[in-house]
Amino acid sequence: MANFVICPATAADCSDILRLIKDLAKCEYMEEQVTITEKDLLEDGFGEHPFYHCLVAEVSKEHSIVRFTMYYFTYDPWIGKLLYLEDFFRMSDFRGFGVGSEILKNLSQVAMKCRYSSMHFLVAEWNKPSTNSYKKMRCL
């Protein structure tokens, strides 16, 4: 079992985040639709007013980022403040280590600490491994 460290992404992680975004798009047969650049990620996520936040998981020994979770805060006029989980992706070799569960716990704690009413995300119905995992965690 690999040892992981989960932490907020830094500006230095933008190239790895872009790599994982492209890997996610490839899994969804949508590679050509990724137009964002490393510069965009840097400016949009690490400026004075970030448009997104990101957690990364890296393998301790290798210092290699193998998972990213991009999220942002928004507002719903019926329920108030909420955390929206935009992307949640890991390299296929790193399934089953519990990192996803830990990240979801971390995000839940962020939402509760900030007194957000809920955490929202979407998952494609065809993505059975993910939907099964979320059902086990009682997220769906």
The full set of domain ranges for the chain reads 4-136
What φ, ψ does residue 27 adopt, rounded to 5°?
-65, -30
Please give the DSSP secondary-structure letter assigned to residue 93. G
**pTM for this model (two decimals):** 0.80
Residue type, 105: K
| 84 touches 120 (CB < 8 A) | yes
| Residue 140 pLDDT class (50, 70, 90 cuts) | very low
Look at the domain 4-136 and name its fold. Answer: Aminopeptidase (3.40.630)
Judge whether residue 96 has pLDDT over 70: no
User: Which residues carry out catalysis?
Assistant: 134
Q: Indicate the DSSP class of residue 12.
A: G
CB of 76 within 8 A of CB of 116? no
Give kind and range of the element (H or E) at residue 95.
Answer: none
User: What pLDDT does 85 receive?
Assistant: 86
Residue carrying structure tokens 């019926």: 78
7 or 140: which leads in pLDDT: 7
